[in-house]
Amino acid sequence: MIKATKHTKISATLPWTLLVKVDDFVKKYEYPSRSALIEIALIQMLRDQMDTKIEVEAAKLNTQAEIDEAEEGMQDYIDIVGQGGTF
């Protein structure tokens, strides 16, 4: 089940060249808006960072007890990124 999230309006300052690329991407891939594209990009960036951190920490594990504890922490991860990978 995906939780409904409340959105908050913000403003951002971007170089003109980047804004043109965002607009082109929105049109080319039929995103509903700039906001939708930016939201998806930020979610992916945050997920990538979290995945990298988990991989680094998992590589340090050397006992079954530590591995079991890490697996219990997956619920925290799911609570943050959502079951379907969305916030």
What is the residue extent of each domain of the chain? 16-81
pLDDT digits 0-9 by tens, 8-34: 999 999 999 999 999 999 999 999 999
Q: Between these two residues, 75 and 28, which has the higher pLDDT value? A: 28
CA distances, 32 to each of 16, 38, 73, 75 (Å) = 20, 11, 35, 31
> Is the whole-model pTM more than 0.95?
no
Strand (E) positions, the chain? none
pLDDT at 70: 74
The answer for 49, left when phi > 0, alpha when psi is -120 to 50, beta otherwise, is alpha
